[in-house]
Amino acid sequence: EPEVTQTPSHQVTQMGQEVILRCVPISNHLYFYWYRQILGQKVEFLVSFYNNEISEKSEIFDDQFSVERPDGSNFTLKIRSTKLEDSAMYFCASTGLTGGPADTQYFGPGTRLTVL
Amino acid sequence: GENVEQHPSTLSVQEGDSAVIKCTYSDSASNYFPWYKQELGKRPQLIIDIRSNVGEKKDQRIAVTLNKTAKHFSLHITETQPEDSAVYFCAASKAAGFQKLVFGTGTRLLVSP
């Protein structure tokens, strides 16, 4: 069964540094999402992306965050200047052709970001 | 915006017992309600979902019920097994187009042998 993949599995960075988290969605999916989960808390929506543009973003997704689909397979989340409170597990997800609620969101294994 | 409340936060049962987790949502426009199971350090995985035109859905030992009027939905696990131990998240999503999932706060289920 196809799966969403993410790299790296764990990223440690110094406060103020830039990080790029990478995701490879399922190959025929067109809708992509980033979520984050602070340790012990719920999963929170960050941003959704379709047709090379952001469809929706949450209040967490401020100017320090950006997303990109640099080629036909990768989907990236960039944090320009990391803060301690950015430490969390970041999940990428993708859905199929219609993008409506009938489509299951498949989650990647996550990238654990630790900001020191 | 949508807000999803989930109870209880922890649930301990003996193997073979049933477990029930309840969620309420605030936005009447939500019409898709998935349940995800997350094992420690792993990704959330969909276990069952329900759409608002259906009141109940069952898949082997798990079932989900939806009450649109009261805006709440529940996960029922029967004949629990130790491998059911995990954190369970409910979520809600709106009807049309390309919609995010809004998650509940999670329920840690512990099934003791």
pLDDT digits (tens, 9 = 90+) for B41-62: 889 999 999 988 888 999 999 9
| Cα–Cα dist A76/A68, whole Å | 5
The predicted structure's pLDDT at residue A95:
87
Picking from B81, B56, B78, B70, the residue whose alpha carbon sits closest to that of residue B23 is: B70
Interchain contact A105–B (C-beta under 8 A): yes
A104–B34 C-beta distance less than 8 A: yes
pLDDT digits (tens, 9 = 90+) for A16-60: 999 999 999 988 888 899 999 998 889 999 999 988 899 999 999
Q: Which residues contact A97 (CB under 8 A, 6 or more apart)?
A: A28, A29, A30, A103
Q: Is 80 exceeded by the pLDDT of residue B29?
A: yes
Instruction: Read off the pLDDT of each residue in B63-81 and give the average, rounded to a whole number.
Output: 96
Q: Which alpha helices (DSSP H) does chain A contain, by range?
A: none
Q: Are B15 and B83 in contact (CB under 8 A)?
A: no
* Chain A residues with beta carbon closer than 8 angstroms to that of B105: 41-42
The predicted structure's pLDDT at residue A102:
58
Phi, psi of A16 (to 5 degrees): 95, -15
pLDDT digits (tens, 9 = 90+) for A49-61: 988 899 999 999 9
